[in-house]
A and B are shown apart, each in its own frame.
Chain A
Amino acid sequence: MEEREKKRSVVPFGPQHPVLPEPIHLDLVLEDEKVVDVIPSIGFIHRGLEDLVKKRDFNEYVYVAERTCGICSFGHGLGYVEAVEKCMNVEVPIRAKYLRTIWSEMARIHSHLLWAGLMADAFGFENLFYQCWRLREKNLDLVEMTTGGRLIYSVNKVGGVLKDITPDMQKVILNNLSELEAELRDVYKTFMTDYSVQERTRGVGVLTKEQVHDLGCCGPYARASGVARDIRQLGYEAYGELDFEPVVSNDGDNYARCDVRLREVFQSIDLIRQAIAKIPNGELSVPVKGNPDGEAFIRIEQPRGEAIYYVEGNGTKFLNRFRLRTPTFANIPGMCETMKGCSYADIPLLVVTIDPCISCTER
């Protein structure tokens, strides 16, 4: 039989698509059902947030920085505040550091459970999707109790935090987290052992350790390929006093990414327990005088990976420059690499698997 010449066709994917809560556009070059090349284009939700430092003073900008992204909002507020504090040589009280750590871990639990739900939705397991989001609501209740908001926490300020977690609240947190943990074990078991889930995740979208190094991927996406890199190990805030190891898996496929992210939820629950056991009494914030001058550079571990913050002050209340490198931006090249050679039906899954946060990426 004469071999039919394979013709290439370009199929647009997005910006509006069933699996995407946020817009990203991909041009997929196909040979029959096989993807041979991917050309991503972003910019649908670029707002120009970095430029806003020239119009908002450095204390007000904390609230704008939080709104870079609604999912990792606490992390962005924290990164910005830490960078300004480093720039002004402000030493934050230890209690504030512990509170910040607890809230960052709550943000991680919420983000990873949200991702697990979207992942289940992408491979068509509606029940699992609903279960993940039901558990996420339990965590959001704790966030609402301690900060007053569900997604935008608004508890950070330059020099400390605005709200306290009282002993009564700590009891409720420990109690609810135990319930969450028990129910999450069932969800974890389904993700790891269910036949239909493994059909869609095992061996799909493999990224090797070398590729992770070459493409500069970060966060759980890199840890699923065997790279034990976790910025929390640097010991910023109270992480230096807590006991934990990076969660690593070696397969580098979708299955490994589910495994890493869900195990990180258990790890976060453990970290919150440790932090609550060790939290000292003391002030919530220190008074800050003067304006930032000079520059500072900070790295923190967001739920999606390593985020880098840079601020440059000029001695006035308006900063010269604020720069933010987000984890999703680092992971997009890895995503495009995994797509080459896969079938068209796996594309939605491979987009969700990097846990894309486009509004951080485009700011």
Chain B
Amino acid sequence: MGKVKRSPWLLHYDASSCNGCDIEVLACMTPVYDVERFGVVNTADPMQADILLVTGGVNSQSAEVVKQLYDQMARPKVVVAVGICACTGGVFKDCYNINGGVDTVIPVDVYVPGCAARPESIIDGVVKAVQIFQERSDAHDKYVKEHGESERDLSDPDAAAREGNPADFFDAITKTSEGSRDKEAEKK
């Protein structure tokens, strides 16, 4: 691991995990394991987060929440799938309400196996994510210097349109965005 210049903030979401990996993620924050020594801070605000830790496979209801959280994060962002369920669906793969791993919804950079993933392996995954984050933010800085604006993902036109405009963020609870609600209200 090279020199880390930034301190990445970490967001944790439980997609459909059994809790085992979640409490191990929390245990990583406490003094015994302490990921804060790598400059990683646990935050609950997706807008300020750089690394997204997802535990558990996704189901139809949580898929939308995961997508929403990923959209709300500012670029550059790194996703870590913690536990075998988040990687492939794991023990719950055959359940009727499990669609599979997190990579069926959002792109995943680091896979951490284990059931439940041990704090040591979660720390290993987070350190890898910190490295990837460092590379990406260097590339991002370079892009901004050359083009004068933030890079956008043009492969997904919807995501590119949503980016930077909080009113158009997809709301997983009401299944609409604030922007589209306003438009509907105008029509009436």
**Interface positions of A (Cβ within 8 A of B):** 12, 15-18, 21-23, 25, 43-49, 51-52, 55, 63-64, 67-71, 73, 114, 117, 129-130, 133-134, 137, 149-152, 357-359
CB proximity of A152 to chain B, nearest CB, Å: 6
The residues of A that contact B24 with a CB separation of less than 8 Å are 150-151
Q: A45 and B62 in contact (CB under 8 A), knowing A21-B26, A25-B173, A134-B32? A: yes
Judge whether B118 and A68 touch: CB under 8 Å.
no
Q: A137 and B14 in contact (CB under 8 A), knowing A23-B65, A70-B19? A: no
CB < 8 Å: which of A51, A70, A134 contacts B20? A70
Secondary structure dominating the interface of A: loop
A73 to B116, CA, bound (A): 11
In the complex formed, the residue of B with least CB distance to A118 is B26
Beyond the given pairs A23-B14, A130-B30, A133-B32, 12 more chain A to chain B contacts, judged by CB atoms under 8 angstroms and listed by A's residue number, are A15-B62, A16-B65, A16-B69, A22-B19, A23-B62, A45-B17, A47-B97, A48-B95, A69-B19, A71-B20, A137-B32, A359-B16
**Interface positions of B (Cβ within 8 A of A):** 12-24, 26-27, 30-32, 44, 46, 56-57, 59, 61-62, 65, 69, 91-92, 94-98, 115-116, 118, 172-173
Judge whether B16 and A46 touch: CB under 8 Å.
yes
Q: A46 and B22 in contact (CB under 8 A), knowing A21-B14, A133-B32? A: no
In the complex formed, the residue of B with least CB distance to A56 is B94
Judge whether B56 and A45 touch: CB under 8 Å.
yes
A21 to B14, CA, bound (A): 7
CB < 8 Å: which of A25, A44, A67, A150 contacts B91? A67
Judge whether A137 and B19 touch: CB under 8 Å.
no
A49 to B18, CA, bound (A): 11
A43 to B59, CA, bound (A): 10
CB proximity of B101 to chain A, nearest CB, Å: 14
Q: A44 and B20 in contact (CB under 8 A), knowing A12-B173, A51-B95, A137-B32? A: no
In the complex formed, the residue of B with least CB distance to A66 is B18
In the complex formed, the residue of A with least CB distance to B119 is A150
Q: List 17 A-B contacts (CB under 8 A).
A: A21-B22, A22-B14, A23-B13, A23-B65, A46-B59, A46-B61, A47-B16, A47-B97, A52-B92, A52-B94, A68-B18, A70-B19, A70-B20, A71-B19, A151-B20, A152-B115, A358-B19
Q: Which of A16, A17, A49, A137 has the most CB of B within 10 A?
A: A16
Judge whether A69 and B18 touch: CB under 8 Å.
yes
Which 10 A/B pairs are nearest by Cβ-Cβ distance?
A: A70-B20, A18-B44, A70-B19, A45-B16, A133-B30, A48-B95, A48-B97, A48-B96, A151-B20, A47-B95
Judge whether B32 and A64 touch: CB under 8 Å.
no
Judge whether B69 and A134 touch: CB under 8 Å.
no
Judge whether B14 and A71 touch: CB under 8 Å.
no
Q: A17 and B44 in contact (CB under 8 A), knowing A67-B20, A70-B21, A133-B27? A: yes
CB < 8 Å: which of B17, B44, B98 contacts A359? B17
Judge whether A151 and B116 touch: CB under 8 Å.
yes
The residues of B that contact A67 with a CB separation of less than 8 Å are 18, 20, 91-92, 115
Judge whether B23 and A71 touch: CB under 8 Å.
yes
CB < 8 Å: which of B20, B31, B46, B69 contacts A73? B20
Judge whether A46 and B19 touch: CB under 8 Å.
no
Judge whether A48 and B98 touch: CB under 8 Å.
yes
Q: Which of A45, A71, A358 has the most CB of B within 10 A?
A: A45
A17 to B69, CA, bound (A): 12
In the complex formed, the residue of A with least CB distance to B98 is A47
Q: A45 and B14 in contact (CB under 8 A), knowing A70-B20, A133-B32? A: yes
CB < 8 Å: which of B19, B59, B92, B98 contacts A21? B19
CB < 8 Å: which of A16, A25, A47 contacts B92? A47
CB proximity of A214 to chain B, nearest CB, Å: 29
CB < 8 Å: which of B16, B21, B22, B96 contacts A44? B16
CB proximity of B85 to chain A, nearest CB, Å: 9
The residues of A that contact B26 with a CB separation of less than 8 Å are 21, 133
The residues of B that contact A73 with a CB separation of less than 8 Å are 18, 20
The residues of A that contact B92 with a CB separation of less than 8 Å are 47, 49, 52, 67
A55 to B93, CA, bound (A): 11
A117 to B29, CA, bound (A): 12
